[in-house]
Amino acid sequence: MSATARPASPTATLGQGLRYLAVSVCLFGGIWPITKAALASSTPLWFAVNRCAMATAVCTLLLAGLRRLGLPARGDLPCILAIGLLQLGGFFALTHVALSWIPAGRMAILTNVTVFWLIPLSVLVLGERVSRGQWLAVGIGLAGVGVLMQPWTLVSPEPGAVPFLALLPGYLMLLGASLFWSLAILVTRRLPPRRPVLELLPWCFGVATLLLLPLALWREPLGGIGGGAWPYAIFVGAVAAPIGTWATIEAGRRLSGILASVGFLVVPALGVLISNLWLGEPLGWDVLAGGGLIAASVVLAARG
């Protein structure tokens, strides 16, 4: 007679969640500095295509090895399309192109900002009630974004600094990318999938690839990935994207909302540090202040 399996203890679950969080932070923390370095010998959209195509293949093999690979149910399609078209395809298209304008350290912070879109959209689309603290989080997050965008350089440009208007297209792309991510979250909350999101990742990355490929052929017909960028492309596409996403999902399942939110703030912090040490990007007061305001907004929103 077989013994009944005992549920994992809260301590064990917490320990597992922290290990998954550590994997996610290590893989995603350096992804924007690495991508910035890769764009020296590759074009943005083709790098994004490779990222999604490799992730599709690795996720398929990973789930096949776990015997969890299967066709999605009809009820999973809204989640697959939302994540594939918005959170992956649209987000990658805008962020990779924006990286031509924006330093990697600022990218690492700004790509994690969804709170100022998500909370107002939750009220308008889902009819949710939002606390004063969460509205305050929106304001603090917007203030952080404003500091990172350095609008004062429009009036009083600093010596050697890139003018604000020259960076504006990149910042607008990042705001659009965070909107895409927020919309994907709303869709998956309104129409949750039947299968675990982990089992849908090959389909999500596949949809993203199908979106990005014609964009790359149209916008970058002579583009591609140069020899010097392939080590970065393989790491981002075959390791960071699939395994990092898997670790992020598993960490989110095992950790409380506020612990996960605070823990994932290490990702942009590590990105800023790597950008400073490796790429030589300056670590000015605006990066520290803007990053701190955005971190505070995430914590405040998670606490409700």
**What pLDDT digit, counting tens, does each position of 181-206 carry?**
889 888 888 888 999 888 999 999 99
What is the pLDDT confidence band of residue 6, given thresholds at 50, 70 and 90? very low
Give me the mean pLDDT over the 288-303 stretch.
80
Give me the mean pLDDT over the 107-119 stretch.
76
Rg of the chain over all Cα atoms, to the nearest angstrom: 20
What pTM does this model have?
A: 0.85
**Domain ranges within the chain, ordered by starting residue:** 16-303
Q: Can you give the pLDDT at residue 304?
A: 63
Average pLDDT for the chain: 84
Q: How far is CA 24 from CA 83, 86, 228, 240, in A?
A: 18, 21, 25, 8
Distance CA 64, CA 51 (A): 20
- Tokens standing for residue 27: 């893989």
Asked if residues 180 and 87 have their Cβ atoms less than 8 Å apart, the reply is yes
Sequence-separated contacts (24+) of 191-196 with Cβ below 8 Å: 191/75, 191/78, 191/79, 192/79, 193/72, 193/73, 193/75, 193/76, 193/78, 193/79, 193/80, 194/73, 194/75, 194/76, 195/70, 195/72, 195/73, 195/76, 196/249
Distance CA 182, CA 121 (A): 8
Distance CA 136, CA 121 (A): 15
**What pLDDT digit, counting tens, does each position of 59-78 carry?**
999 999 999 999 999 999 99
**What pLDDT digit, counting tens, does each position of 280-294 carry?**
888 787 888 888 888
